[in-house]
Amino acid sequence: MPAQSLDGKGLSERIIADLAVRVSARVTAGMTAPALAVILVGSDPASGIYVRNKRNACLKAGIHSILYDLPVTTTQAEVLALIGELNHNTGVHGILVQMPLPPQIDPTAVIERICPGKDVDGFHPYNIGRLAVRMPTLRSCTPYGVMRLLAMVHDDLKGMSAVVVGSSNHVGRPMGLELLLAGCTVTTCHRFTHNLDAFVAQADIVVVAVGKPELVKGAWIKPGATVVDVGINRMADGSLRGDVEFAAAGERAAWITPVPGGVGPMTVAMLLENTLLAAQLADAAIRVDLDC
C-alpha cells in the first residue's frame, strides 16, 4: 500500500494559528509581542524568498519582525557589531542571520556572537550542547520540526531504530541528538559511510539531509518505515526535489514527507515557537548571557 503523506504544511499552519492565540493572550496581559530581528546580507534570490516566508509567518502569528537588509559588501565586523547591539536590545527577543553569508563573513563567528538566549535558529554551540545533555531550550528548528512531524504519527519513538543520513552542524547532528533524546537507537550516516543502503534498510525511521537529489533509493526503505526528507534540491527545470526517491520510497514506507510541503514549513513554524519561547525566557529573567 502506498505511503501516507506526512503533511508538514498543514501541521505548520495549525502550529502558527495556535501561536497566534498564545501571542495575543500575552499582549492582552500587557506584555510586548515577541520580536524577531532578521539579518539578510546580500541579494541571493533563494535567501530573499526564505526571509520573506519567515516574515509572513511572523505576521500571521503576531510576532514583530524587524528586517536588517544589508548590502553584499557588508564586512564581518559590521555584522558582528549589529548582533552585539541586538544582543543588548531588550526589545528584541530573537536574532536570525539568514545563511548562506557572503564569503568575507565567517558563519561560525556570526553564530557564536548571537546571545544563546536569542539564538532562535538553535545553532549556537551552547544550545546544541544543552540538547546533547538532555536539557533542550532553544532547539535547532529543522530537527525540532521533524520531531513534531514524527509525533503526529508515532505516540512513542522509544526503541525504534532511526537512521540519519547527513551530519551537518545545523541539521544532521542535532537531528541525531533529538532522536536519541526521544529514545531511538540512532545511527548517523555521512560521506564516509560504507554500504549506506544496508543502514537505511534496517531503519524504522529514516531522516535524510544531504542536499543530493534522490540519493536514497526507494528500494532501500524498510517496509512500513517512516521517511522524512529534509533535502531541497532545485532541478534544471526549476522544480524542487528531495534527497529521497519519492515515488519508489512511497511504495514501501508507511509515512513519507513530500518535498516541498514537508519539513520546510515546519522549520519556519519552529522558528516562531523559539521566538515566543525566547520572549518568555526573557520575561522570566531566565537569561543566558555567556559572552553576549
Residues that bind ligand NAP (CB under 6 A): 142, 165-168, 170-172, 189-191, 193, 196, 209-212, 215, 230-233, 263-264, 267
CA distance 142 to 267: 5
Least Å distance, CB 253 to ligand NAP, is: 18
289 tagged catalytic = no
Least Å distance, CB 258 to ligand NAP, is: 11
Which of 7, 9, 18, 54 is labelled catalytic?
Answer: 54
- Residue with Cβ nearer ligand NAP (82 or 242): 242
Which residues lie closer than 8 Å to 210 by C-beta, 6 or more apart? 165, 166, 231, 243
Least Å distance, CB 242 to ligand NAP, is: 8
- What would the DSSP string read from start to end of 211-243? -STT-B-GGGSPTT-EEEE---EE-TTS-EE-S
60 tagged catalytic = no
C-alpha cell at 57: 509567518
CA distance 166 to 170: 10
- Residue with Cβ nearer ligand NAP (9 or 64): 9
Least Å distance, CB 210 to ligand NAP, is: 4
Count of beta carbons in the 10 Å neighbourhood of residue 58: 26
158 tagged catalytic = no
- Nearest Cα to 275, choosing from 81, 92, 30? 92
Which of 98, 119, 204, 243 is labelled catalytic?
Answer: 98
Reduced to 3 states (helix: H, G, I; strand: E, B; else coil), residue 54 is: helix
- Residue with Cβ nearer ligand NAP (82 or 114): 114
- Residue with Cβ nearer ligand NAP (20 or 240): 240
Which of 121, 204, 229, 243 is labelled catalytic?
Answer: 121
C-alpha cell at 150: 514524527
Catalytic residues: 54, 98, 121
